[in-house]
C-alpha cells in the first residue's frame, strides 16, 4: 500500500518551496465480554494522508481519505492555496525553517508476529468476566481489549522517507459494585491504563489472567471501606497514579506550544515560562524526568516524530532542575530553545503539534516496603479515577480508586474515595522518596486530548512508586 503511494507522491505536481506527505494506515479490533455476554466485535480500518506545504512565509495542510492520485493532487493544491493565503498573516516565517529529509524506519516489538485470534480473545475475556461476576453486589463488569496495528509513512519533497510500523495491545478490566446507596468501581490500572507496544506477552506482565477475581475482591473491600480521612499527611502514590501526576503536572506544562501560547483558547497555557529552563527548581533533588522514545514496549516509542525529526532520549528535569521543554523542531525555532522530537499528530486528519509522547520518572533506590515503613501517618493511593487541573497546569485535584492508610510504618485500613490536591509548582518539591526499579510500571493512555482542531493521542509513562510529604488529602461525602 505505502509503496504504491510513494510512487504517486513522486508524481505529484507542486511549485512551492517544500511539501510532504504523511500517511497513516491503522487497523484495530476491539473485543469485550460484559456480564458474561460477548459483545459484538468492532473493527476499524482508518487510512488517509495529510499533505503539508511551505510557500514563502506561509504553510498550509490538507488531509484526505481519497488516496487516488487525483485525490492527493487535490489535497496538495489545497494545502498550497492555504500556504499562500496565510503567508501575509503567518505567525511563523516558514521560509526560515529547515526542510526535513529524514530517512529510516521503526518497528514495535512483535510488529510482524501474528496476533491472537478472535476466539482466543473471547475465551480469555470470558474467563475473566466469569471470575469477576462473583457476588450479587457486583452490578456491572467487563473485560475488554483493543489490538491495533499501524503503518506510518512520511515522504518529503527533499527526498525524506520514513516508515514506522506499530503494534499495540490495550486490555482492560472493570468491576462495579453497589450497596447501601454507594457505588464503587475498580479497574486494572485505570480505564485503558494498560496500553503498550508489542504482543500479548504484556498480559502476563500485568497479571491480566486472574485479574477479574482479584479486582472483584478489591471492589467489595472498597464498598465496605470508610471514606479516606481529611487532613495533611504523607502520601505514597503507586505507579498507576504517578503516571497521571506526571502527565498533568510535568508533561503538559512543559509542552512548548502551550508556553508559546498556541493552546490558550482551549487546552491552556503553562505556569512554566521560557526563562525558567536551565535554572528553575521544579522539584526536589530526587526528581529526574526524561523524554524517552526508546523504551520498546512503551506506548509512544518511535524513531521519528511526525515532522521527521529523529527521536532520542533527553532529560527534561535533572536533580530537580528544569532543563528542556517538550517542543518539536518548529517550536524550538520559535522559542530559541533546544527541545525534543515530539511534534506529533493523532491521525492523518490532524496536523502535528507538540505532544508529550513517553515521559518517564527515573527510579530511585527505595523499596516499597521501605517507603511504607518510613511513613508515620499517611495514605497509599493507587489507580487514578479523577483528574482536574487549571489551565496553567498548576492547581490540581486528583482522585484514586484505591486507598489504604499507613499508620506507624504499616499498611492498615482500606479507604474509599481517596483524593488529594496541590499546586504543581510546590508539589514536586515535596517528593521525599522515589521507588526503585522493582516498583516501576510502564503504563500509558491512548486518550490524551489537546489541540485545535482537537486530537487524542497515545502517550506513555513509566514511573516508580513515590512518597510526597504534607499533602492535602480528603475523602468523599458520606453515602
Mention every residue, 6+ apart, whose C-beta is less than 8 A from residue 77: 62
Task: For the segment 270-329, give every residue that binds other proteins (CB under 8 A).
Answer: none
CA distance 140 to 161: 48
| Stretch in the footprint of other proteins (CB under 8 A) among 88-96, 163-171, 196-204, 402-410 | 88-96
| Stretch in the footprint of other proteins (CB under 8 A) among 57-65, 161-169, 309-317, 433-441 | 57-65
Decide: 471 and 235 in contact? Cβ < 8 Å: yes
Select the residue interacting with other proteins from 6, 73, 78, 413 (CB under 8 A): 78
Please tell me whether residue 217 binds other proteins under the rule CB under 8 A: no
Please tell me whether residue 40 binds other proteins under the rule CB under 8 A: yes
| Stretch in the footprint of other proteins (CB under 8 A) among 36-44, 163-171, 192-200, 463-471 | 36-44
- To the nearest whole angstrom, how small is the minimum distance from the Cβ of residue 281 to other proteins? 21
Task: For the segment 373-392, give every residue that binds other proteins (CB under 8 A).
Answer: 386-392
Task: For the segment 452-471, give every residue that binds other proteins (CB under 8 A).
Answer: 452-456
Decide: 198 and 297 in contact? Cβ < 8 Å: yes
Task: For the segment 401-430, give every residue that binds other proteins (CB under 8 A).
Answer: 417, 419, 421, 423
Q: How many CA atoms lie within 13 A of 73 on its CB side?
A: 9
Please tell me whether residue 476 binds other proteins under the rule CB under 8 A: yes
β pairing state of 231-237 and 466-474: antiparallel
| Closer residue to other proteins, CB minimum distance, 180 or 204 | 180
Element (H or E) spanning 213, and its range? helix 211-224
Decide: 345 and 22 in contact? Cβ < 8 Å: yes
Decide: 216 and 135 in contact? Cβ < 8 Å: yes
Decide: 212 and 437 in contact? Cβ < 8 Å: no
Please tell me whether residue 212 binds other proteins under the rule CB under 8 A: no
CA dihedral 464, 466, 472, 476 (to 10 degrees): 50
Record the cell numbers describing residue 464, joined without a space. Answer: 516508580
- To the nearest whole angstrom, how small is the minimum distance from the Cβ of residue 254 to other proteins? 17
| Closer residue to other proteins, CB minimum distance, 404 or 455 | 455
Please tell me whether residue 37 binds other proteins under the rule CB under 8 A: yes
β pairing state of 161-179 and 103-107: parallel
Instruction: Tally the residues of the chain.
Output: 479
Task: For the segment 325-354, give every residue that binds other proteins (CB under 8 A).
Answer: 347, 349-351, 353
How many residues bind other proteins, per CB under 8 A? 80
Select the residue interacting with other proteins from 20, 21, 23, 48 (CB under 8 A): 48
Please tell me whether residue 86 binds other proteins under the rule CB under 8 A: yes
Which of 368, 347, 346, 367 lies closest to 357 in space, CA to CA? 346
CA distance 96 to 333: 9
Task: For the segment 249-268, give every residue that binds other proteins (CB under 8 A).
Answer: 260-262, 264-266, 268
Bridge partners for 130 per DSSP: none
Select the residue interacting with other proteins from 6, 8, 12, 92 (CB under 8 A): 92
- To the nearest whole angstrom, how small is the minimum distance from the Cβ of residue 368 to other proteins? 27
Residue identified by cell 527510579 is 363
Please tell me whether residue 136 binds other proteins under the rule CB under 8 A: no
Tell me the per-residue interface mask from 436 to 455 with other proteins, x by CB under 8 A, - otherwise: -------------x--xxxx
CA distance 363 to 435: 6
| Closer residue to other proteins, CB minimum distance, 223 or 466 | 223
Residue identified by cell 481519505 is 65
- To the nearest whole angstrom, how small is the minimum distance from the Cβ of residue 321 to other proteins? 23
- To the nearest whole angstrom, how small is the minimum distance from the Cβ of residue 426 to other proteins? 12
Which of 406, 310, 247, 288 lies closest to 106 in space, CA to CA? 310
| Geometric angle at alpha carbon 167, from 165 and 169, rounded to 5° | 165
Which of 261, 245, 390, 253 lies closest to 326 in space, CA to CA? 253
Select the residue interacting with other proteins from 11, 13, 15, 45 (CB under 8 A): 45
| Stretch in the footprint of other proteins (CB under 8 A) among 38-46, 97-105, 149-157, 429-437 | 38-46
- To the nearest whole angstrom, how small is the minimum distance from the Cβ of residue 102 to other proteins? 21
Please tell me whether residue 125 binds other proteins under the rule CB under 8 A: no
Amino acid at each position: 500500500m505505502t509503496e504504491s503511494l510513494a510512487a504517486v507522491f513522486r508524481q505529484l505536481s507542486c511549485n512551492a518551496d517544500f511539501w510532504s506527505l504523511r500517511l497513516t494506515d491503522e487497523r484495530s479490533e476491539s473485543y469485550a465480554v460484559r456480564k458474561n455476554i460477548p459483545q459484538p466485535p468492532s473493527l476499524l480500518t482508518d487510512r488517509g494522508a495529510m499533505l503539508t506545504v511551505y510557500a514563502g512565509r506561509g504553510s498550509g495542510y490538507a488531509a484526505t481519505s481519497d488516496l487516488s492520485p487525483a485525490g492527493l493532487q487535490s489535497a496538495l493544491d489545497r494545502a498550497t492555496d492555504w500556504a499562500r493565503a496565510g503567508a501575509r498573516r503567518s505567525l511563523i516565517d516558514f521560509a526560515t525553517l529547515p526542510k526535513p529529509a529524514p530517512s529510516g524506519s521503526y518497528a514495535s516489538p512483535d510488529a510482524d508476529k501474528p496476533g491472537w485470534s478472535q476466539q482466543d480473545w473471547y475465551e480469555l475475556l470470558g474467563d475473566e468476566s466469569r471470575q469477576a461476576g462473583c457476588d450479587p453486589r457486583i452490578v456491572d463488569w467487563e473485560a475488554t481489549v483493543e489490538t491495533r496495528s499501524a503503518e506510518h509513512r512520511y515522504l518529503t519533497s527533499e527526498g525524506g522517507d520514513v516508515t514506522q510500523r506499530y503494534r499495540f495491545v490495550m486490555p482492560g478490566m472493570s468491576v462495579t459494585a453497589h450497596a447501601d446507596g454507594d457505588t464503587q468501581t475498580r479497574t486494572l490500572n485505570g480505564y485503558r491504563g494498560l496500553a503498550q507496544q508489542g504482543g500479548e506477552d504484556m498480559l502476563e506482565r500485568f497479571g491480566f489472567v486472574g485479574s477479574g477475581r482479584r479486582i472483584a475482591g478489591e471492589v467489595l473491600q472498597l464498598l465496605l471501606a470508610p471514606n479516606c480521612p481529611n487532613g495533611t499527611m504523607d502520601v505514597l502514590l503507586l505507579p498507576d497514579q504517578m503516571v497521571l501526576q506526571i502527565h498533568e503536572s510535568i508533561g503538559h506544562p512543559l509542552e512548548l506550544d502551550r508556553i508559546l501560547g498556541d493552546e490558550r483558547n482551549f487546552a491552556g497555557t503553562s505556569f512554566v515560562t521560557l526563562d525558567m529552563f536551565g535554572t528553575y527548581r521544579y522539584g526536589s533533588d530526587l526528581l529526574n524526568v526524561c523524554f524517552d522514545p526508546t523504551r520498546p514496549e512503551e506506548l509512544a516509542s518511535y524513531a521519528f516524530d511526525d515532522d521527521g525529526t529523529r527521536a532520542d532520549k533527553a532529560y527534561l528535569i535533572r536533580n530537580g532542575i528544569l532543563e528542556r521543554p517538550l517542543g518539536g523542531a518548529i517550536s524550538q525555532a520559535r522559542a530559541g530553545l533546544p527541545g525534543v522530537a515530539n511534534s506529533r499528530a493523532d491521525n492523518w486528519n490532524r496536523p502535528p503539534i507538540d505532544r508529550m509522547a513517553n515521559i518517564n520518572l527515573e527510579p530511585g533506590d527505595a523499596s516499597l516496603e521501605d517507603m511504607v515503613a518510613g511513613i508515620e501517618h499517611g495514605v497509599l493511593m493507587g489507580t487514578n479515577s479523577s483528574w482536574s487541573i487549571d489551565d496553567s497546569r498548576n492547581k490540581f485535584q486528583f482522585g484514586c480508586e484505591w486507598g489504604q492508610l499507613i499508620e506507624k510504618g504499616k499498611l492498615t485500613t482500606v479507604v474509599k474515595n481517596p483524593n488529594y490536591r496541590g499546586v504543581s509548582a510546590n508539589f514536586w518539591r515535596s517528593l521525599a522518596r522515589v521507588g526503585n526499579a522493582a516498583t516501576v510500571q510502564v503504563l500509558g493512555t491512548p486518550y490524551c486530548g489537546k489541540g485545535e482542531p482537537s486530537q487524542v493521542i497515545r502517550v506513555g509513562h513509566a514511573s516508580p512508586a513515590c512518597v510526597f510529604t504534607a499533602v492535602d488529602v480528603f475523602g468523599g461525602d458520606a453515602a
